[in-house]
Amino acid sequence: MTAVAAPRPSTRRDLRTLLAENPIIVLTAVLVVLYVATGLKDHSLFTSNGVRSILLLACPLAIFAASQTLCMLTGGIDLSIAMTANLVAYVAANQYSRGTAAILALGLALLVGIAVGIVNGIGIGVFKVNPLIMTLGMASVLLGLVTVWLKTILKGSTNLIPFVKTVGSGTLVGPLPTNIIVWAVVATVLVLGLRSSGIGRMVYAVGDNRIACRLAGVRVWQVLLVVYIVASLLAAVAGLLFSGTTGSVGPDQTNSYLLPSVAAAVIGGTSILGGSGGYSGTIVGALILTVLNRLLLALDTSEAFKQILYGLIVLALAWLYVRLTGHKGTADAR
């Protein structure tokens, strides 16, 4: 570190630096405050069942936000994750109720997810289509396909695979729902993988400076391809978990997760311009949004007021984050 110390280091500045370098401390503090505030309104939150319900609901959001975090780290975004999740959950349930073995139905469904990721990745990585447009278009394509397929090749009953149902809604021990196992695996792989694997470092590098990466010999298109495949795969997993939790499948059931998944990653400190952030912040971001939803529910206000508050609080948190860390989201020249 720097050898020159300020003449009289004020503790206030030290604290500021500490917070600016570890924004996750502030995020956790916000989470705790929000949790306690919600708990005062809705006492069930302090019971083991209350904790379980928060974790249960936060899990699909956190996994959706994981795919968003990955894409955002490369400077992209994936707006097709919700439609991918819907399609995958539907395929799994439909195949299973037709008599396909559970493991095969699950495999087929995940393959569908991977296929979507490959198309996205090729479009963005090889043909350099803007990620926003590529995944927006993909979401349109999937929406049309799902609507038609419901009447043709995916016609028929939909019974959830029991395994999906167990993982999606069971209880592991005490306040821990079963789906937290999946979340823990995803979190471990992402946090460690992004920090210390080759591809993980390349994800940051590509997001930071694509031209420099290309000049340094990184095959940028391969990195992007992998990122979008993993993102779609994570979306598929989240879709399956969500169907297990709610016990239903539908052509638009996870659409309400799309924008919160972006918000969770941003609140967690991942820059939408790429190159900075990580999954640990996103986890806290997803928890904050879930508790926030619960608070708005406990306040017993109208749907309209809930949406107004939700938007304002997301904005306030993002603003707080920028204020605190001092790194602006945009290269401003004012």
Enumerate binding residues for other proteins (CB under 8 A).
77, 123, 127-130, 132-134, 136-145, 147-148, 151, 255, 259, 262-263, 266, 271-273, 302-312, 314-315, 318-319, 322-323, 328-334
Cβ neighbour number for residue 175 with a 10 Å cutoff: 17
Q: Least distance from C-beta 190 to other proteins, angstroms? A: 22
**Minimum distance of other proteins from residue 239's CB (angstroms):** 19
Q: How far is the CB of 286 from other proteins (least distance, A)?
A: 16
Q: Please give the Cα distance from 278 to 310 (Å, whole number).
A: 23
Q: Tell me the two tokens of residue 196.
A: 């210390």
Q: What is the closest distance, in whole angstroms, from the C-beta atom of residue 270 to other proteins in the complex? A: 11
CA 96, CA 163: separation in Å to the nearest integer?
11
Residue (205 or 263) nearer to other proteins, CB = 263
Q: CB atoms < 10 A from the CB of 179, how many?
A: 30
The alpha carbon of 163 is separated from its chain's Cα centroid by a whole number of angstroms, namely: 23
Pick 209 or 255: Cβ nearer other proteins? 255
Q: Of all helices (H) and strands (E), which one includes residue 173? A: strand 171-173
Please identify, using beta-carbon distances, which residue of 1 and 331 lies nearer to other proteins: 331
For other proteins, which is the closer residue by CB, 169 or 255?
255
Name which of 200 and 281 has its Cβ closer to other proteins: 281
User: CA angle, corner 106, sides to 103 and 108, nearest 5?
Assistant: 110
- Dist CA 287 CA 270 (whole Å): 15
Distance between CA atoms of residues 182 and 167, nearest Å: 8
What is the nearest approach in angstroms of other proteins to the Cβ of residue 222?
A: 19
